[in-house]
A and B are shown apart, each in its own frame.
Chain A
Amino acid sequence: MKTVLELEKVEKYYGSKSSLTKAINNISFTVEEGEFVAIMGASGSGKTTLLNVISTIDRVTSGNIYVDGEDITTLKGEDLNRFRREELGFVFQDFNLLDSLTAYENIALALSIQNVDAHEIDTRVKTVARELNIKDVLEKYPYQMSGGQKQRVASARALITNPKLILADEPTGALDSKSSRMLLEQFEQLNQKLSATILMVTHDAFAASYASRAIFIKDGKIFNEIRRGNDSRKEFFDAIIDVMTLLGGDMNDVL
Chain B
Amino acid sequence: MFFKLALKNIKRSFKDYAIYFFTLVLGVAIFYVFNAIESQTAMLNINKSMHAIVDMMTTTLSGVSFFVAIVLGFLILYASRFLIKRRNKEFGLYMTLGMSKRKISGVLLIETFIIGLVSLAVGLLVGVVISQFTSVLVANLFEADLTNFTFVFSASACIKTMICFALIYLVVMIFNTVNISRQKLINLLSSARQSEKIKVKNPWLCTVIFLIAVAMLAWAYYAVTAGVEEVLMEDVNMVYLILVTGAVATFLLFWSLSGLLLRIFMSWKQVYYRKLNSFTLRQFSSKINTTVLSMTMICLMLFVTICVFSSAMSIRNSINETARQSMPADVEFTEAYRVNNEDDSMTVTINQQGMAQELGVKDFYRSEGVDIDSLFSDYVEYTTYVIPSWSLRDSLGEAIDDIEAQFPMIYYDQSETLIRQSDYNALARIYGNPEVDLAKDEYAVLANYENMVTMRNRGLATKPTIKVFGQTLKPKYDKCLIGKYEFTATSNDNSGLIIIPDEFKITGENYYITRAIAKYKPGQDSREVDRILEDTWNRGLDGEKAKEVKFWVETRQSVIDDGIGLGAMVTFIGLYLGMIFLISSAAVLALKELSESSDNRQKFTMLRKIGASEKMLNRALFWQIAIFFGFPLLIAIIHSVFGIIFCGFILNTFGNMNLIQPIFLTALLIVVIYGGYFLITYFCSKNIIREHRV
Give the interface of A toward B (CB within 8 A): 14, 55, 57-59, 77-78, 81-86, 88, 90, 92, 96, 98-101, 105, 108-119, 121-122, 141-143, 157
Contact = CB atoms under 8 A, between A and B. Distances in A.
Nearest to A78: B613
B208 interface: no
Contacts of B276: 109, 112-113
Given A58-B694, A78-B614, A85-B611, 17 more contacts: A57-B609, A58-B693, A78-B613, A82-B611, A84-B611, A85-B613, A92-B606, A98-B279, A99-B198, A109-B278, A111-B273, A112-B273, A113-B275, A116-B273, A121-B273, A122-B269, A143-B195
B269 A105 contact: no
A6 B674 CA distance: 53
Contact of A113 (B286, B603, B611, B694): B611
B196 interface: yes
Contact of B614 (A81, A85, A109): A81
B610 A157 contact: yes
Contact of A100 (B282, B606, B612, B614): B282
A116 B270 CA distance: 10
A121 B272 CA distance: 11
Nearest to B270: A118
A81 B274 contact: no
Contact of B610 (A58, A90, A143): A90
Contacts of B211: none
A198 to B, nearest CB: 17
Contact of A101 (B282, B608, B612): B282
B198 A84 contact: no
B286 A100 contact: yes
A108 B611 CA distance: 13
Contacts of A143: 195-198
Contacts of A14: 694
Contact of A108 (B278, B609, B693): B278
A141 B273 contact: no
Interface of B: 195-198, 200, 269-270, 272-279, 282-283, 285-286, 603, 606-616, 693-694
A81 B613 contact: yes
A100 B198 contact: yes
Nearest to A111: B273
A98 B609 contact: no
Contacts of B615: 78
Nearest to A163: B611
Nearest to A58: B694
Nearest to A83: B611
Contact of B603 (A83, A88, A98, A121): A98
B196 A118 contact: no
A141 to B, nearest CB: 5
Nearest to B617: A81
Contacts of B285: 100
A68 B18 CA distance: 47
A115 B198 contact: no
Contacts of B611: 81-86, 88, 110, 113-114
Given A58-B694, A108-B273, A85 B610 contact: yes
A49 to B, nearest CB: 9
Contacts of B272: 118
Contacts of A109: 276, 278-279, 607, 610
Contacts of B196: 99-100, 143
A4 to B, nearest CB: 18
Contacts of A100: 196, 198, 279, 282-283, 285-286
Given A109-B279, A113-B276, A143-B197, A96 B693 contact: no
Given A108-B273, A112-B273, A101 B278 contact: yes
Contact of A118 (B269, B279, B283): B269
Nearest to A96: B606
A43 to B, nearest CB: 17
B693 A112 contact: no
A115 B270 CA distance: 10
Contacts of B610: 84-85, 90, 109-110, 113, 157
A55 B278 contact: no
Given A98-B606, A100-B196, A113 B282 contact: no
Contacts of A116: 273
B198 A141 contact: yes
B277 A84 contact: no
A79 to B, nearest CB: 10
Contact of B279 (A78, A96, A101): A101
Contact of B275 (A88, A92, A98, A115): A115
Contacts of A82: 611, 613
Contacts of B286: 100
Contacts of A119: 269
A59 to B, nearest CB: 7
Contacts of B608: 81, 84
B612 A113 contact: yes
Nearest to A110: B610
Contact of A112 (B198, B278, B282): B278
B551 to A, nearest CB: 77
A172 to B, nearest CB: 19
A154 B524 CA distance: 89
Nearest to B272: A118
A98 B602 CA distance: 9
Contacts of A78: 613-615
A14 to B, nearest CB: 8
Nearest to B196: A99
B609 A59 contact: no
23 contacts: A78-B613, A78-B615, A84-B608, A85-B613, A90-B610, A92-B609, A98-B606, A101-B282, A105-B282, A108-B273, A108-B278, A109-B276, A109-B278, A112-B277, A113-B616, A116-B273, A118-B269, A118-B272, A118-B274, A119-B269, A142-B195, A143-B195, A143-B198
A155 B269 CA distance: 23
